[in-house]
A and B are shown apart, each in its own frame.
Chain A
Amino acid sequence: MTRISVTVDGVGYQDEVEPRLLLVQYLREQLGKTGTVVGCDTSNCGACTVHLDGHSVKSCTVLAVQADGHDVTTIEGIARDGELHPMQQAFHECHALQCGYCTPGMIMQAIDVLNDNPHPSEEEIRLGLEGNLCRCTGYHNIVKAVQQVAGAQAPAEAAVAMPATAGAQVQA
Protein backbone atom coordinates (compact mmCIF):
# COMPACT_ATOMS: atom_id res chain seq x y z
CA MET A 1 0.00 0.00 0.00
CA THR A 2 1.15 3.53 -0.71
CA ARG A 3 0.13 6.61 1.22
CA ILE A 4 -1.30 9.43 -0.89
CA SER A 5 -2.56 12.86 -0.12
CA VAL A 6 -4.82 14.47 -2.72
CA THR A 7 -7.24 17.33 -2.91
CA VAL A 8 -10.52 16.34 -4.56
CA ASP A 9 -13.17 18.96 -5.23
CA GLY A 10 -11.54 21.25 -2.72
CA VAL A 11 -11.29 18.73 0.14
CA GLY A 12 -7.98 17.18 1.25
CA TYR A 13 -7.82 13.38 1.60
CA GLN A 14 -5.09 11.10 2.93
CA ASP A 15 -5.42 7.44 2.07
CA GLU A 16 -3.57 4.18 1.77
CA VAL A 17 -4.04 2.81 -1.73
CA GLU A 18 -2.77 -0.10 -3.79
CA PRO A 19 -0.42 1.26 -6.48
CA ARG A 20 -2.50 -0.43 -9.17
CA LEU A 21 -5.65 1.47 -8.15
CA LEU A 22 -6.84 3.68 -11.00
CA LEU A 23 -7.73 7.26 -10.17
CA VAL A 24 -11.30 6.67 -11.35
CA GLN A 25 -11.68 3.73 -8.97
CA TYR A 26 -10.26 5.79 -6.13
CA LEU A 27 -12.81 8.53 -6.82
CA ARG A 28 -15.77 6.18 -7.17
CA GLU A 29 -15.03 3.38 -4.76
CA GLN A 30 -12.98 5.00 -2.04
CA LEU A 31 -14.42 8.53 -2.01
CA GLY A 32 -17.91 7.60 -3.22
CA LYS A 33 -17.76 10.20 -6.01
CA THR A 34 -19.71 8.16 -8.52
CA GLY A 35 -20.43 11.17 -10.72
CA THR A 36 -17.31 10.27 -12.70
CA VAL A 37 -18.07 7.16 -14.76
CA VAL A 38 -16.20 4.50 -16.73
CA GLY A 39 -17.32 3.96 -20.30
CA CYS A 40 -14.63 1.85 -21.91
CA ASP A 41 -11.60 -0.34 -21.43
CA THR A 42 -9.41 1.35 -24.02
CA SER A 43 -8.92 4.98 -22.89
CA ASN A 44 -11.02 6.09 -25.85
CA CYS A 45 -14.39 7.31 -24.57
CA GLY A 46 -13.53 10.17 -22.20
CA ALA A 47 -16.51 9.48 -19.88
CA CYS A 48 -14.05 9.40 -16.96
CA THR A 49 -12.56 12.87 -17.68
CA VAL A 50 -11.59 14.92 -14.61
CA HIS A 51 -9.19 17.83 -14.14
CA LEU A 52 -5.77 17.17 -12.63
CA ASP A 53 -4.15 20.44 -11.56
CA GLY A 54 -6.58 22.23 -13.83
CA HIS A 55 -6.04 20.13 -16.97
CA SER A 56 -8.32 17.43 -18.31
CA VAL A 57 -7.18 13.80 -18.04
CA LYS A 58 -8.82 10.42 -18.45
CA SER A 59 -9.02 9.20 -14.86
CA CYS A 60 -9.07 5.56 -16.04
CA THR A 61 -5.59 6.17 -17.44
CA VAL A 62 -3.99 7.72 -14.36
CA LEU A 63 -3.04 5.79 -11.21
CA ALA A 64 -4.27 7.16 -7.89
CA VAL A 65 -0.62 7.21 -6.74
CA GLN A 66 0.24 9.52 -9.64
CA ALA A 67 -2.24 12.02 -8.22
CA ASP A 68 -0.39 12.14 -4.89
CA GLY A 69 0.21 15.78 -3.97
CA HIS A 70 -2.07 17.01 -6.74
CA ASP A 71 -5.45 18.63 -7.11
CA VAL A 72 -8.37 16.79 -8.71
CA THR A 73 -11.67 18.35 -9.79
CA THR A 74 -14.58 16.12 -10.76
CA ILE A 75 -18.06 16.82 -12.13
CA GLU A 76 -19.21 16.81 -8.48
CA GLY A 77 -17.04 19.79 -7.61
CA ILE A 78 -17.99 22.41 -10.19
CA ALA A 79 -21.39 23.64 -8.97
CA ARG A 80 -21.15 26.58 -6.55
CA ASP A 81 -23.53 27.28 -3.66
CA GLY A 82 -26.29 25.22 -5.20
CA GLU A 83 -25.89 26.91 -8.59
CA LEU A 84 -24.94 24.75 -11.56
CA HIS A 85 -21.67 25.59 -13.30
CA PRO A 86 -22.43 27.61 -16.47
CA MET A 87 -21.44 24.60 -18.59
CA GLN A 88 -23.83 22.32 -16.68
CA GLN A 89 -26.56 24.92 -17.08
CA ALA A 90 -25.87 25.22 -20.82
CA PHE A 91 -25.98 21.43 -21.31
CA HIS A 92 -29.36 21.49 -19.57
CA GLU A 93 -30.70 24.41 -21.61
CA CYS A 94 -29.40 23.18 -24.97
CA HIS A 95 -30.57 19.61 -24.40
CA ALA A 96 -26.98 18.48 -24.86
CA LEU A 97 -27.64 15.02 -23.45
CA GLN A 98 -29.92 12.09 -23.96
CA CYS A 99 -28.92 9.07 -21.86
CA GLY A 100 -26.43 11.27 -20.01
CA TYR A 101 -23.67 8.69 -19.70
CA CYS A 102 -21.06 10.73 -21.55
CA THR A 103 -22.15 13.97 -19.85
CA PRO A 104 -19.84 14.16 -16.80
CA GLY A 105 -16.76 13.67 -18.98
CA MET A 106 -18.13 15.81 -21.79
CA ILE A 107 -18.76 18.73 -19.41
CA MET A 108 -15.31 18.46 -17.81
CA GLN A 109 -13.67 18.40 -21.25
CA ALA A 110 -15.85 21.26 -22.52
CA ILE A 111 -14.67 23.37 -19.57
CA ASP A 112 -11.07 22.49 -20.42
CA VAL A 113 -11.62 23.52 -24.06
CA LEU A 114 -12.80 26.99 -22.99
CA ASN A 115 -10.02 27.31 -20.39
CA ASP A 116 -7.50 26.88 -23.22
CA ASN A 117 -9.39 28.91 -25.78
CA PRO A 118 -12.27 31.09 -24.55
CA HIS A 119 -13.54 31.81 -28.07
CA PRO A 120 -13.20 28.64 -30.12
CA SER A 121 -14.65 28.18 -33.58
CA GLU A 122 -17.09 25.33 -34.10
CA GLU A 123 -14.29 23.23 -35.54
CA GLU A 124 -12.06 23.97 -32.55
CA ILE A 125 -14.86 22.87 -30.21
CA ARG A 126 -15.36 19.63 -32.12
CA LEU A 127 -11.63 18.93 -32.13
CA GLY A 128 -11.40 19.81 -28.45
CA LEU A 129 -14.03 17.16 -27.73
CA GLU A 130 -12.47 14.53 -30.01
CA GLY A 131 -11.56 12.31 -27.06
CA ASN A 132 -15.13 12.16 -25.76
CA LEU A 133 -17.60 9.81 -27.38
CA CYS A 134 -21.34 10.30 -27.28
CA ARG A 135 -23.53 7.48 -28.56
CA CYS A 136 -26.80 9.43 -28.42
CA THR A 137 -26.80 13.08 -29.34
CA GLY A 138 -24.82 13.30 -32.56
CA TYR A 139 -22.81 16.04 -30.78
CA HIS A 140 -24.81 18.87 -32.31
CA ASN A 141 -26.38 20.18 -29.10
CA ILE A 142 -23.18 19.57 -27.16
CA VAL A 143 -21.38 21.94 -29.51
CA LYS A 144 -24.25 24.43 -29.11
CA ALA A 145 -23.94 24.29 -25.33
CA VAL A 146 -20.23 25.05 -25.51
CA GLN A 147 -20.93 27.90 -27.92
CA GLN A 148 -23.56 29.26 -25.54
CA VAL A 149 -21.06 29.41 -22.68
CA ALA A 150 -18.35 30.88 -24.92
CA GLY A 151 -20.83 33.47 -26.15
CA ALA A 152 -21.88 34.37 -22.61
CA GLN A 153 -18.23 34.86 -21.68
CA ALA A 154 -17.84 37.58 -24.28
CA PRO A 155 -21.18 39.22 -25.00
CA ALA A 156 -19.65 41.40 -27.73
CA GLU A 157 -18.60 38.36 -29.72
CA ALA A 158 -21.67 36.27 -29.08
CA ALA A 159 -23.28 37.21 -32.35
CA VAL A 160 -20.32 35.94 -34.40
CA ALA A 161 -19.61 32.98 -32.16
CA MET A 162 -23.11 31.53 -32.33
CA PRO A 163 -24.28 31.02 -35.88
CA ALA A 164 -26.97 28.35 -36.27
CA THR A 165 -24.31 25.91 -37.37
CA ALA A 166 -25.17 23.10 -39.68
CA GLY A 167 -22.96 20.70 -37.73
CA ALA A 168 -20.34 20.18 -40.41
CA GLN A 169 -18.41 17.10 -39.37
CA VAL A 170 -14.77 17.77 -38.67
CA GLN A 171 -12.57 15.95 -41.13
CA ALA A 172 -9.59 14.36 -39.44
Chain B
Amino acid sequence: MIPAPFDYVAPTSLADALAALADSGDEVKVLAGGQSLLPILRMRLNAPDRVVDLGRVEELRGITEEGDSIVIGAMTTYAELLASDVVREHAGLLTKAVQEVADPQIRHRGTVGGALVHADPAGDVGAPVLALEAELVITGPAGQRTVPATEFFQDLFETAVGEGELLTAIRVPRHTGWGSHYEKFVRVVHQWSIVAVGATVRVENGLIAEARIGLTNMGSTPLRARAVEDALVGGPATQDSVREACAAAAEGTNPPSDLNGDSDYRRHLATVLSRRAVLAAAGV
Protein backbone atom coordinates (compact mmCIF):
# COMPACT_ATOMS: atom_id res chain seq x y z
CA MET B 1 0.00 0.00 0.00
CA ILE B 2 0.95 3.63 -0.39
CA PRO B 3 0.94 6.30 2.34
CA ALA B 4 -1.66 9.07 2.23
CA PRO B 5 -0.27 12.38 0.89
CA PHE B 6 1.70 14.62 3.24
CA ASP B 7 3.91 17.70 3.14
CA TYR B 8 7.59 16.98 3.56
CA VAL B 9 10.27 19.06 5.23
CA ALA B 10 13.90 18.05 5.57
CA PRO B 11 15.63 20.50 7.92
CA THR B 12 19.42 20.42 8.15
CA SER B 13 19.83 21.65 11.73
CA LEU B 14 18.23 20.85 15.10
CA ALA B 15 17.02 24.45 15.38
CA ASP B 16 15.28 24.23 12.01
CA ALA B 17 13.79 20.86 12.90
CA LEU B 18 12.30 22.28 16.12
CA ALA B 19 11.03 25.32 14.21
CA ALA B 20 9.43 23.04 11.60
CA LEU B 21 7.67 21.13 14.39
CA ALA B 22 6.57 24.35 16.10
CA ASP B 23 4.88 25.76 13.03
CA SER B 24 3.16 22.52 12.06
CA GLY B 25 -0.34 21.62 13.23
CA ASP B 26 -1.16 18.62 15.44
CA GLU B 27 -0.91 16.20 12.57
CA VAL B 28 2.86 16.23 12.24
CA LYS B 29 5.16 13.21 12.40
CA VAL B 30 8.90 13.08 12.86
CA LEU B 31 10.71 10.72 10.47
CA ALA B 32 13.95 9.12 11.65
CA GLY B 33 14.99 5.85 9.96
CA GLY B 34 11.40 5.21 8.93
CA GLN B 35 11.57 1.50 9.75
CA SER B 36 8.51 1.72 11.99
CA LEU B 37 6.93 4.91 10.67
CA LEU B 38 6.87 4.01 6.97
CA PRO B 39 5.16 0.64 7.54
CA ILE B 40 2.62 2.50 9.70
CA LEU B 41 2.02 5.14 7.00
CA ARG B 42 1.78 2.49 4.29
CA MET B 43 -0.87 0.64 6.28
CA ARG B 44 -2.56 4.04 6.80
CA LEU B 45 -2.63 3.46 10.53
CA ASN B 46 -1.54 7.09 10.66
CA ALA B 47 -1.90 9.85 8.08
CA PRO B 48 -0.01 12.99 9.13
CA ASP B 49 -0.39 16.28 7.23
CA ARG B 50 3.30 16.85 7.48
CA VAL B 51 6.45 14.77 7.93
CA VAL B 52 9.61 16.34 9.35
CA ASP B 53 12.59 14.22 8.23
CA LEU B 54 15.56 14.29 10.64
CA GLY B 55 17.73 12.41 8.14
CA ARG B 56 19.72 15.50 7.17
CA VAL B 57 20.36 16.81 10.70
CA GLU B 58 24.00 15.84 11.04
CA GLU B 59 24.33 17.09 14.64
CA LEU B 60 21.97 14.31 15.81
CA ARG B 61 24.29 11.57 14.52
CA GLY B 62 27.33 9.95 15.99
CA ILE B 63 28.81 8.60 19.21
CA THR B 64 31.06 10.63 21.52
CA GLU B 65 32.68 10.14 24.92
CA GLU B 66 31.93 12.75 27.58
CA GLY B 67 33.45 12.13 30.99
CA ASP B 68 31.78 9.10 32.53
CA SER B 69 29.24 8.78 29.74
CA ILE B 70 28.96 7.62 26.17
CA VAL B 71 26.69 9.98 24.26
CA ILE B 72 24.77 8.49 21.35
CA GLY B 73 23.05 10.91 18.97
CA ALA B 74 19.38 10.02 18.47
CA MET B 75 19.84 9.62 14.70
CA THR B 76 22.69 7.14 15.05
CA THR B 77 21.69 4.02 13.12
CA TYR B 78 21.81 0.52 14.53
CA ALA B 79 24.58 -0.28 12.02
CA GLU B 80 26.65 2.70 13.22
CA LEU B 81 26.16 1.63 16.84
CA LEU B 82 27.25 -1.92 16.02
CA ALA B 83 30.41 -0.58 14.39
CA SER B 84 31.36 1.43 17.51
CA ASP B 85 34.19 -0.01 19.59
CA VAL B 86 33.44 2.56 22.29
CA VAL B 87 29.90 1.25 22.77
CA ARG B 88 31.08 -2.36 22.62
CA GLU B 89 33.69 -1.72 25.30
CA HIS B 90 31.79 0.55 27.69
CA ALA B 91 28.12 -0.30 27.09
CA GLY B 92 28.38 -3.82 25.68
CA LEU B 93 24.78 -4.70 26.51
CA LEU B 94 23.58 -2.22 23.87
CA THR B 95 25.77 -3.83 21.21
CA LYS B 96 24.52 -7.28 22.16
CA ALA B 97 20.87 -6.22 22.03
CA VAL B 98 21.12 -4.24 18.79
CA GLN B 99 22.69 -7.26 17.07
CA GLU B 100 19.35 -8.97 17.67
CA VAL B 101 17.17 -6.23 16.17
CA ALA B 102 15.39 -7.09 12.91
CA ASP B 103 17.70 -7.74 9.94
CA PRO B 104 20.71 -6.07 8.28
CA GLN B 105 18.66 -3.89 5.92
CA ILE B 106 16.56 -2.52 8.79
CA ARG B 107 19.68 -2.03 10.92
CA HIS B 108 21.17 0.11 8.12
CA ARG B 109 18.24 2.55 8.38
CA GLY B 110 16.68 2.24 11.86
CA THR B 111 17.94 4.60 14.53
CA VAL B 112 18.46 4.23 18.26
CA GLY B 113 16.37 7.35 18.90
CA GLY B 114 13.54 6.20 16.64
CA ALA B 115 13.38 2.86 18.41
CA LEU B 116 13.21 4.51 21.84
CA VAL B 117 10.52 7.05 20.94
CA HIS B 118 8.51 4.37 19.11
CA ALA B 119 8.55 2.53 22.48
CA ASP B 120 7.19 -0.80 21.30
CA PRO B 121 7.34 -3.01 24.43
CA ALA B 122 8.71 -5.83 22.23
CA GLY B 123 11.51 -3.58 20.93
CA ASP B 124 15.03 -4.60 21.89
CA VAL B 125 16.62 -1.23 22.69
CA GLY B 126 14.52 -0.16 25.69
CA ALA B 127 15.53 -2.86 28.19
CA PRO B 128 19.30 -2.29 27.76
CA VAL B 129 18.85 1.47 27.98
CA LEU B 130 16.91 0.98 31.22
CA ALA B 131 19.37 -1.57 32.62
CA LEU B 132 22.37 0.64 31.82
CA GLU B 133 20.68 3.50 33.73
CA ALA B 134 20.94 5.78 30.72
CA GLU B 135 19.59 9.31 30.57
CA LEU B 136 17.60 10.61 27.65
CA VAL B 137 18.19 14.12 26.37
CA ILE B 138 15.00 15.76 25.09
CA THR B 139 15.06 19.09 23.28
CA GLY B 140 12.05 21.34 22.67
CA PRO B 141 11.09 24.97 22.21
CA ALA B 142 11.85 25.59 25.91
CA GLY B 143 15.34 24.14 25.64
CA GLN B 144 16.90 20.90 26.73
CA ARG B 145 15.98 18.56 29.57
CA THR B 146 17.37 15.24 30.68
CA VAL B 147 15.22 12.43 32.03
CA PRO B 148 16.32 9.12 33.53
CA ALA B 149 15.29 6.00 31.63
CA THR B 150 12.93 5.08 34.51
CA GLU B 151 10.84 8.16 33.68
CA PHE B 152 11.28 8.04 29.92
CA PHE B 153 9.18 4.93 29.24
CA GLN B 154 5.63 5.78 30.29
CA ASP B 155 3.36 3.25 28.63
CA LEU B 156 2.75 1.26 25.47
CA PHE B 157 4.16 3.48 22.66
CA GLU B 158 4.35 6.41 25.11
CA THR B 159 7.44 8.22 26.29
CA ALA B 160 8.40 11.45 28.02
CA VAL B 161 8.92 13.13 24.63
CA GLY B 162 6.12 15.71 24.38
CA GLU B 163 4.55 17.53 21.45
CA GLY B 164 7.02 19.76 19.65
CA GLU B 165 9.95 17.98 21.32
CA LEU B 166 12.64 15.68 19.96
CA LEU B 167 14.75 13.01 21.56
CA THR B 168 18.23 14.28 20.75
CA ALA B 169 20.68 12.01 22.57
CA ILE B 170 21.09 9.03 24.85
CA ARG B 171 23.71 9.31 27.62
CA VAL B 172 24.91 5.94 28.80
CA PRO B 173 27.13 5.71 31.90
CA ARG B 174 30.27 3.70 31.22
CA HIS B 175 30.08 0.09 32.30
CA THR B 176 33.70 -0.64 31.57
CA GLY B 177 34.75 -4.16 32.51
CA TRP B 178 31.18 -5.41 32.92
CA GLY B 179 30.14 -8.57 31.10
CA SER B 180 26.88 -8.51 29.20
CA HIS B 181 24.46 -10.64 27.28
CA TYR B 182 21.08 -10.19 25.58
CA GLU B 183 19.03 -13.36 25.40
CA LYS B 184 16.15 -13.03 22.94
CA PHE B 185 13.46 -15.65 22.48
CA VAL B 186 11.77 -15.85 19.07
CA ARG B 187 10.38 -18.66 16.95
CA VAL B 188 11.81 -17.49 13.62
CA VAL B 189 14.72 -15.19 12.88
CA HIS B 190 14.13 -11.44 12.56
CA GLN B 191 10.98 -11.54 14.67
CA TRP B 192 10.13 -9.20 17.51
CA SER B 193 10.98 -10.53 20.96
CA ILE B 194 8.40 -12.81 22.52
CA VAL B 195 10.46 -12.15 25.65
CA ALA B 196 14.07 -11.05 25.92
CA VAL B 197 16.39 -10.39 28.85
CA GLY B 198 19.42 -8.12 28.88
CA ALA B 199 21.91 -8.65 31.68
CA THR B 200 25.08 -6.81 32.52
CA VAL B 201 27.15 -7.81 35.55
CA ARG B 202 30.45 -7.00 37.21
CA VAL B 203 32.18 -10.03 38.63
CA GLU B 204 34.91 -9.65 41.27
CA ASN B 205 36.80 -12.66 42.60
CA GLY B 206 34.06 -15.04 41.51
CA LEU B 207 31.33 -12.99 43.21
CA ILE B 208 28.73 -10.88 41.46
CA ALA B 209 29.55 -7.38 42.67
CA GLU B 210 26.91 -5.53 40.64
CA ALA B 211 24.09 -6.67 38.38
CA ARG B 212 21.57 -4.88 36.18
CA ILE B 213 18.84 -6.71 34.31
CA GLY B 214 16.30 -5.38 31.83
CA LEU B 215 13.24 -7.27 30.59
CA THR B 216 11.73 -6.87 27.10
CA ASN B 217 8.02 -7.52 26.48
CA MET B 218 7.15 -8.35 30.10
CA GLY B 219 4.79 -5.38 30.44
CA SER B 220 3.76 -2.19 28.66
CA THR B 221 7.26 -0.74 29.08
CA PRO B 222 10.73 -2.24 29.49
CA LEU B 223 11.25 -3.32 33.13
CA ARG B 224 14.13 -3.85 35.55
CA ALA B 225 14.25 -7.23 37.29
CA ARG B 226 15.19 -5.66 40.64
CA ALA B 227 14.44 -8.77 42.71
CA VAL B 228 16.90 -10.79 40.64
CA GLU B 229 19.53 -8.07 40.85
CA ASP B 230 19.22 -7.93 44.65
CA ALA B 231 19.40 -11.71 44.93
CA LEU B 232 22.48 -11.90 42.70
CA VAL B 233 24.62 -9.22 44.31
CA GLY B 234 27.16 -10.62 46.74
CA GLY B 235 26.49 -14.19 45.61
CA PRO B 236 28.82 -16.48 43.68
CA ALA B 237 28.72 -16.49 39.88
CA THR B 238 27.74 -20.14 39.71
CA GLN B 239 24.99 -22.11 37.94
CA ASP B 240 23.08 -22.93 41.13
CA SER B 241 23.24 -19.53 42.69
CA VAL B 242 22.24 -17.74 39.47
CA ARG B 243 19.39 -20.19 38.85
CA GLU B 244 18.02 -19.55 42.33
CA ALA B 245 18.25 -15.77 41.97
CA CYS B 246 16.59 -15.80 38.54
CA ALA B 247 13.51 -17.58 39.86
CA ALA B 248 12.31 -14.09 40.83
CA ALA B 249 12.59 -12.67 37.28
CA ALA B 250 8.85 -12.31 36.71
CA GLU B 251 8.22 -10.52 40.02
CA GLY B 252 6.35 -7.26 39.46
CA THR B 253 5.84 -7.84 35.73
CA ASN B 254 2.61 -7.79 33.75
CA PRO B 255 3.35 -9.65 30.51
CA PRO B 256 0.85 -9.74 27.63
CA SER B 257 -0.94 -12.83 26.32
CA ASP B 258 -1.03 -13.22 22.56
CA LEU B 259 -0.67 -15.82 19.81
CA ASN B 260 3.01 -16.29 20.68
CA GLY B 261 2.27 -17.29 24.25
CA ASP B 262 0.17 -16.46 27.26
CA SER B 263 1.39 -14.41 30.16
CA ASP B 264 2.23 -17.41 32.36
CA TYR B 265 4.39 -18.79 29.59
CA ARG B 266 6.16 -15.43 29.36
CA ARG B 267 6.71 -15.42 33.15
CA HIS B 268 8.35 -18.80 32.83
CA LEU B 269 10.45 -17.60 29.88
CA ALA B 270 11.64 -14.62 31.91
CA THR B 271 13.19 -16.88 34.55
CA VAL B 272 14.87 -19.17 32.02
CA LEU B 273 16.16 -16.36 29.81
CA SER B 274 17.39 -14.39 32.83
CA ARG B 275 19.43 -17.35 33.98
CA ARG B 276 20.95 -17.78 30.52
CA ALA B 277 21.63 -14.06 30.16
CA VAL B 278 23.26 -13.69 33.58
CA LEU B 279 25.41 -16.81 33.19
CA ALA B 280 26.60 -15.68 29.75
CA ALA B 281 27.22 -12.13 31.02
CA ALA B 282 29.22 -13.50 33.96
CA GLY B 283 31.17 -15.79 31.64
CA VAL B 284 30.02 -18.93 33.46
> When the two chains form the complex, which single residue of B2, B6, B79 contacts A25, counting CB atoms closer than 8 Å?
B2
Residues of B within 8 A of A55 (CB): 79, 108
Residues of B within 8 A of A113 (CB): 104
Is B2 within 8 A of A62, CB to CB? no
- Asked if B257 is at the interface of the complex by the 8 Å CB criterion, the answer is no
Decide yes or no: A63 and B38 within 8 Å by CB, A20-B5, A109-B104 being known contacts.
yes
- Asked if A165 is at the interface of the complex by the 8 Å CB criterion, the answer is no
Residues of B within 8 A of A170 (CB): 189
- Asked if B43 is at the interface of the complex by the 8 Å CB criterion, the answer is yes
Q: Which of B2-32 contact A (CB under 8 A)?
A: 2-8, 10, 31
Is B3 within 8 A of A58, CB to CB? no
> When the two chains form the complex, which single residue of A56, A65, A109, A172 contacts B189, counting CB atoms closer than 8 Å?
A172
Is A130 within 8 A of B34, CB to CB? no
Is A46 within 8 A of B103, CB to CB? yes
* Bound Cα distance from A42 to B38, whole angstroms: 10
Report the interface size for chain B: residues with CB under 8 A from the other chain: 35
- How many Å from the CB of A156 to the closest CB on chain B? 27
Residues of A within 8 A of B69 (CB): none
Residues of B within 8 A of A19 (CB): 5-8, 51
- Asked if A61 is at the interface of the complex by the 8 Å CB criterion, the answer is yes
* Bound Cα distance from A19 to B7, whole angstroms: 7
Residues of A within 8 A of B102 (CB): 131
- How many Å from the CB of A146 to the closest CB on chain B? 13
* Bound Cα distance from A24 to B28, whole angstroms: 24
Residues of A within 8 A of B191 (CB): 172
Residues of A within 8 A of B51 (CB): 19
- Asked if A22 is at the interface of the complex by the 8 Å CB criterion, the answer is yes
Residue of B nearest to A108 (CB): B105
- Asked if A43 is at the interface of the complex by the 8 Å CB criterion, the answer is yes
- Asked if B184 is at the interface of the complex by the 8 Å CB criterion, the answer is yes
Residues of A within 8 A of B3 (CB): 20, 22
> When the two chains form the complex, which single residue of B10, B105, B188 contacts A58, counting CB atoms closer than 8 Å?
B105
- Taking Cβ atoms with an 8 Å cutoff, the residues of A that contact B are 2, 18-20, 22, 25, 41-44, 46, 49, 52, 55-58, 60-63, 65-66, 68, 109, 112-113, 116, 127-128, 130-132, 170, 172
Can you identify 25 A-B contacts, CB atoms within 8 angstroms?
A2-B8, A19-B5, A19-B7, A20-B2, A22-B3, A41-B42, A43-B35, A43-B38, A43-B39, A43-B106, A46-B105, A55-B79, A58-B106, A60-B42, A61-B39, A62-B34, A63-B31, A63-B38, A66-B53, A112-B104, A112-B105, A116-B104, A131-B103, A131-B105, A132-B103
